[in-house]
Amino acid sequence: MNKKVENMKALFAPESVAVIGASDNPGKLGFHVMKSLTKGGFAGRIIPVNPGSGEIMGLKAFPSITDCDGQIDLAIVALPAKLVPEIFRECAAKGIKGIVLITAGFKEIDDPAGTRLHEEIAGIANEAGIPVIGPNTFGMINLQANLNASFTPEFSLLRKGSIALISQSGGISHLLGFLAMRMDVGFSKIIGLGNRLNVDFAQMVDCLMDDSDTRVIMLYMEGIDDPGKLLETIKKQNSKKPIIINKTGSSAKSDQASRSHTGSMAGRHEIYMGSFSQARILAVDNTETLLDSARALAGCPIPDGPGVAVLSGQAGPGMAGCDVSEAQGLKIVQFTEKTQQKINEHLPPLALRTNPVDMGPAWYDSSAIEEIIRAVMDDENVDGILLFMMFASANADAVKGISDLLEKWAQQKPLISCILSPPGIWDGEIKALEESGSLLNYPTPERAANAMASLWKYRKMQISRADFL
Amino acid sequence: MNKKVENMKALFAPESVAVIGASDNPGKLGFHVMKSLTKGGFAGRIIPVNPGSGEIMGLKAFPSITDCDGQIDLAIVALPAKLVPEIFRECAAKGIKGIVLITAGFKEIDDPAGTRLHEEIAGIANEAGIPVIGPNTFGMINLQANLNASFTPEFSLLRKGSIALISQSGGISHLLGFLAMRMDVGFSKIIGLGNRLNVDFAQMVDCLMDDSDTRVIMLYMEGIDDPGKLLETIKKQNSKKPIIINKTGSSAKSDQASRSHTGSMAGRHEIYMGSFSQARILAVDNTETLLDSARALAGCPIPDGPGVAVLSGQAGPGMAGCDVSEAQGLKIVQFTEKTQQKINEHLPPLALRTNPVDMGPAWYDSSAIEEIIRAVMDDENVDGILLFMMFASANADAVKGISDLLEKWAQQKPLISCILSPPGIWDGEIKALEESGSLLNYPTPERAANAMASLWKYRKMQISRADFL
């Protein structure tokens, strides 16, 4: 298996990619794969393989990879299942290092022939030490390498970032990809595991733990055969990167669906949850929270404690943030005397000034706002800051007023915000603050507080990690 | 008090509005109020009142309303607190029907003078039967009348719709307004109650229950003095429109903040929750769910039962939808034999076809998809449909393929979807389907399922309403 592990790395950084089943016909998946590779900006060699075509999308096509000159690192296969064993043999002979097997129709169909085919190709791949993503997958994407090895060219629209997704569902991969585009969140890699011929969560997590482009790993799981193997891998890897999981199957119906859909044992959701907690995997119960938490873990320093300061331009959002913070295990701390004194200089006695702080009364005095924020940032009791500001016409310069301070301070502690305006007004300034690493912004105070809570939950797991390792 | 109730209606439909404290100086709130009125497209007469100006924003200014010719229906006051009693006397003398009092500095400041002023102006307003929105409010907006009586001109960017918001927090009003703009959700009215001189939740709910532009009422509450009055009003009004509430104060810190911030009793969150349930008010615990639920209640038929069908183009999102559905009290029903037979004609045996239905295997056959959806729509066991489809390049026409069917069917039962694509691809088609009343679309399957659950929770409350009325 050493060769397979070695080849796992090559999977993401091929110099040449063959598309076996490449096509000029938009009705074929091989067309869309070719489009993904050519439009995605992949700098290496792209080799369409199709016995019936001389040229596909302007590239010379070969009747088979055997006929193709030079080394091929990665093969993407989109041909009928019954042809796949022969293709795999050719791949092994050609010295191909990795395969993305888009084709469906193996173990998951109600036909012993499918299972036989599955076992046959597994044998070939394992003997040759070739890691296989799939079968029955949409593919995988390595954004940093501009490698879109999937049948969805639009994944190349994603921003490059440091979040990786390993998913058992193509639908959820597309969902999270499109959500990320709409929220301008960047990814490093997306891997659709499909029916996991010889690459399962454990092998992929192991690989991404050593991937310098990836800071945070998101998992979407329905059910797997060997959860123990995943736990073992994480233990071996010393839990060195945050892993967040969203596992469906908490309801009777979806658990049942999962068993039949993935061909895996699936089963009791609670047992999985226990294992995740033991392995220091942060479990969340929906896709929105999965992405929100991954963003925070990828973009914020991890707080040392649960103590947050809630600073808001208007009282209501601050209260909403407090409710979620406390419910999710954060603490609305008491400020040091020094901090409190500074705040009291700028806010009248009846204002909310002890945490949560309603900075409303100082709203028009940007130097006062700045001094309050600075005092709270420096407060030793404060592990993280939640900052909520709603646009008002009379205060259109509010974000500009604090930008310098926030940029200089650059998140020595996590600063998570909900700064919201009508579309187009503050969006540019907020994006600049995000890009300078000054803060991360969320659409509601509750989602901001939840993201902060995920940071602390992860930190708490690290602290208690000794029990596990 | 009858005159005040009568005048409540005039509040939202004035023919003439005076801005007392109007200004040409962007540093003054009176400037922003003038901008809101003039730029918001208000068709009635706008009268700037300011002793020092001859003209403001091209409109003739008057030194006082007493000097102004003709009837004035509504006055928006943005002057220092100490001047307000005299202004109120002038308003009463002039026969003004309603006041929006933006000014702060009454009961909420730590000064007996503030409380005295508060009582003085309450006396004047009550004697004259003038309903007052505020003090300490950003104002109110009636979108159907193009009346933006607030200091935030950008509220006029909101789409006209049938959701009203009554809020105790200006910050939350702005938050929900901006979220709605970004989600393209329409509002009928937004009312910032402020410190509730003589118009509280009860009076405003009473008024909006009879407002033909409003189908659903959202409340944001921190704490009120007399929750019993609100319950009584809803009882009297026969719970005839859905009311959804988000109350903050579930945490110790925010409850404490609320008591001091709003000057109200606030106190035990659980007691409030019990009252809301008794009054058939649907309580949700965050602003996102508040808006998501209001959209569904305003835009979908109310289901007769908890039975949902989950139809998806990919299995994963279907499972995510099932998990939330069951957790929130919906039932993933068994189809009738007739429906199941129809589905079986189009999907292979090992596909998920018993509910949740994974339509993936029929993905390229739009007539098959159409027949499956139609069979499920007509199934007597199904009270509502959750439809999840993720874009794929190979299936770019999927939405077009089912649009006709969905438009024809036009939500005889609620149809809530998460149909998601990279920005710009399906957005136009989804918007058209929403506008034709065919479905409501949400950004994730979980939020779609949650919205469906809110419909059923509301329906269940209606069924058990007999206990309350």
Contact assignment for A420 to B319 by CB distance below 8 Å: no
pLDDT digits (tens, 9 = 90+) for A74-122: 999 999 999 999 999 999 999 999 999 999 888 777 678 889 999 999 9
Does A318 reside within a domain?
A: yes
Q: Which of A171, A179, A316 sits opposite B171 (nearest CB)?
A: A316
Q: How far is B361 from chain A (nearest CA, A)?
A: 10
Regarding whether A163 and A79 lie in a shared domain, the answer is: no
Low pLDDT (below 50) residues in chain B: 469
Same domain (yes/no): B437, B367: yes
DSSP 3-state of A139: strand
Supply the CATH number for residue A115's domain. Answer: 3.40.50.720
Do the Cβ atoms of B254 and A108 come within 8 Å?
A: no
Residues A120 and A163 in one domain: no
**The tokens of B291 are what?**
């808006």
Name the pLDDT band for A167 (thresholds 50, 70, 90).
very high
What's the pLDDT tens digit per position in A420-450? 999 999 999 999 999 999 999 999 999 999 9
- A312 shares its domain with A450: yes
Residue A317 and residue B260: Cβ atoms within 8 Å? no
Residue pair B362/B369 in contact (Cβ under 8 Å)? The answer is yes
- In chain A, what residues touch B167 (CB-CB under 8 Å)? 316
Domain identity same for B11 and B61: yes
As beta bridge partners, residue A441 has A417
Q: Which residues of B touch A332 (CB under 8 A)?
A: 251, 253
**Per-residue tokens: B394:** 């190979």
Split into its structural domains, chain B has a count of 3
**Measured at the alpha carbon of residue B372, what is the angle toward residues B315 and B345, in degrees to the nearest 5?**
95
Contact between chains at B394 and A358 (C-beta distance less than 8 A): no
How many Å lie between the alpha carbon of A10 and the closest alpha carbon of chain B? 27
* The domain boundary residue, chosen from A137, A171, A200: A137
Q: What is the ipTM of this complex?
A: 0.95
Partners of residue A108 in chain B, C-beta under 8 Å: 350
Find the CATH number of the domain harbouring A362: 3.40.50.261
Task: Specify whether the CB–CB gap between B70 and B42 falls below 8 A.
Answer: no
- Which element (helix H / strand E) includes B459? helix B445-463
Q: Which of A36, A171, A446 is closest, CB to CB, to B313?
A: A171
Which of B25, B102, B390 would you mutate first to test chain A, the one with the most A CBs within 10 A? B390
- A464: pLDDT strictly greater than 80: no
CA dihedral A434, A437, A438, A444 (to 10 degrees): 40
Tokens (6 digits) for B180: 């709605």
Close Cβ partners of B315 (under 8 Å, ≥ 6 residues apart): A169, A171, A222, A257, A261, B352, B356, B358, B360
Q: Is residue B265 domain-shared with residue B366, that is, in the same domain?
A: no
Q: Among B110, B138, B166, which residue terminates a domain?
A: B138
Q: Domain range for residue B389?
A: 302-463
Please tell me which of the candidates A108, A172, A318 has its beta carbon nearest to residue B316: A172
pLDDT, one tens digit per residue, over A246-275 is 999 888 777 777 666 555 555 578 888 888
The answer to whether the CB atoms of A29 and B394 lie below 8 A apart is yes
**Contact (CB<8Å) B175/A352:** no
Q: Got the DSSP string for A16-41? A: EEEEET--S-TTSHHHHHHHHHHHTT
Tell me: pLDDT of A322 over 90. yes
3-state helix, strand, coil in chain B (%, to 5): 45, 20, 35
- Residue A11 confidence class, pLDDT cut points 50, 70, 90: very high
Supply B259's token pair.
């008591």
Give pLDDT, residue A261.
58
Quote the pLDDT of residue B467: 56
Report if residue A334 sits inside a domain: yes
Minimal Cα–Cα distance from A211 to chain B, Å? Answer: 27
| B249–A181 CB contact, under 8 Å | no
**Subunit contact B151:A420, Cβ cutoff 8 A:** no
Place of tokens 């068993």: A259
Distance to chain B for A27, nearest Cα, Å:
7
Question: What's the length of chain A?
Answer: 469
Name which of B169, B355, B444 is nearest A288 (Cβ-Cβ): B444
A112's CB contacts (< 8 A; 6+ apart) are: none
pLDDT of B392-413, one tens digit each?
A: 998 888 899 889 889 888 778 9
Q: Let me know whether A10 and A69 are in one domain.
A: yes
Is B157 in contact with A332 (Cβ distance < 8 A)?
Answer: no
Distance from CA of B228 to the nearest CA of A (A): 23
Distance, in angstroms, between A317 CA and closest chain B CA?
6
Residues of chain A contacting B153 with CB distance shorter than 8 Å:
393
Q: According to the model, what pLDDT value does residue B61 have? A: 97
Predicted confidence at residue A59, as pLDDT, reads 97
Residues B24 and B103 reside in one and the same domain? yes
For residue A467, is it left (φ>0), alpha (ψ between -120 and 50) or beta?
alpha
Distance CA B25, CA B378 (A): 62
Q: Could you tell me if A395 and A408 lie in one domain?
A: yes
Give me the residue from A169, A178, A393 closest to B315, CB to CB.
A169
B280 vs A379, more confident = A379
Integer-rounded Cα Rg, in Å, for chain A is: 25
Q: Of A253, A323, A420, which has the smallest distance from its Cβ to B250's Cβ? A: A323
Mutate to test the interface with A, among B150, B173, B174 (most CBs of A within 10 A): B174
Residue A162 backbone phi and psi in degrees, to 5: -115, 15
Contacts of A43 (CB under 8 A, 6+ apart): A146
Q: How far is B446 from chain A (nearest CA, A)?
A: 7
**Which chain B residues contact residue A286 at CB under 8 A?**
320, 324, 444, 446
Q: How far apart, in whole angstroms, are the C-alpha atoms of residue A345 and residue A347?
A: 6
Question: What is the interface size between A and B, counted as CB pairs within 8 Å?
Answer: 280
- Considering only alpha carbons, which residue of chain B is nearest residue A393? B152
Smallest Cα distance from A184 to chain B, Å: 11
Same domain? For B289 and B306 the reply is no
- Residue A314 and residue A207 share a domain: no
Q: Is residue B147 part of a domain?
A: no
Contact B251 A323 (CB under 8 A): yes
pLDDT reading at A331 higher than 90 = yes
Q: Both A325 and A363 in a single domain?
A: yes
pLDDT score of A146 more than 90: yes
A356 Cα to chain B: minimum distance (Å): 7
The amino acid at residue A469 is: L
Give a yes or no: residue A89 inside a domain: yes
Percent residues over pLDDT 90 in chain A: 75
- Facing B178 at nearest CB: one of A315, A358, A421: A421
Residue of A168, A250, A391 with shortest CB distance to B174:
A391
SS3 A295: helix
Q: Give the whole-angstrom CA distance, residue B421 versus residue A185.
A: 15
Domain C-terminal end among A270, A299, A328: A299
Name the phi and psi angles at A47, rounded to 5: -120, 105
Question: In a mutagenesis test of the B interface, which of A393, A421, A430 is the best target, namely the one with the most B β-carbons within 10 Å?
Answer: A393
Q: Tell me whether residue B468 is in a domain.
A: no
Contacts A246 to B, Cβ<8 Å: 320
Q: How far B198 CA lies from chain A's nearest CA (Å)?
A: 21
Residue A420's φ and ψ, nearest 5 degrees, are -130, 140
Convert the pLDDT of each residue in A181-204 to its tens digit. 999 999 999 999 999 999 999 999
Domain-embedded: residue B149 = no
Q: Which residues of B177-212 are buried (b: 16+ CB within 10 A; e: fewer)?
A: bbbbbebebbbbbbbbbbbbbbbbbbbbbbbbbebe
Q: What is the pLDDT of residues A266-299, one digit of tens each?
A: 557 888 888 888 889 999 999 999 999 999 999 9
pLDDT of residue A258: 67
Work out the burial of residue A64: count CB atoms within 10 Å of its CB; fewer than 13 is exposed, 13-18 middle, 19 or more buried. middle
Residue B26 exposed, middle or buried by CB count within 10 Å (0-12, 13-18, 19+): exposed
